[in-house]
Amino acid sequence: MTDVPSEPYLKYSWQRPVLDALTEIRQDRLHLMVNAAERAIAARLRDPNPPDLNEQLALPDAPRSLRILFPEISEPRTEITARDARKKDIA
């Protein structure tokens, strides 16, 4: 990605909204911050530029962290694992 966050420890532009959500202390703004972080991650996943190896490793952790820390706020995901898919095939 070409746009670099202002903080030297944030390497990718989608990390700023994630960090903002993780550090939000105002309950009334938390939903907005988590939503913004999820949108930033989704936008990066749709970006045609391939992520470097470090970003490939970091990208799955960000939404997982949001779902674990804010299960009541994070968008529900319908992730089907290989085992779930096999169960459907058997049934």
pLDDT, tens digit, 9 for 90 and up, residues 6-25:
666 899 999 999 999 999 99
Residue 1: what pLDDT? 47
Task: Locate the domains of the chain by residue range.
Answer: 15-90
Q: Is the pLDDT of residue 3 over 70?
A: no
**CA nearest 17: which of 65, 50, 57?**
65
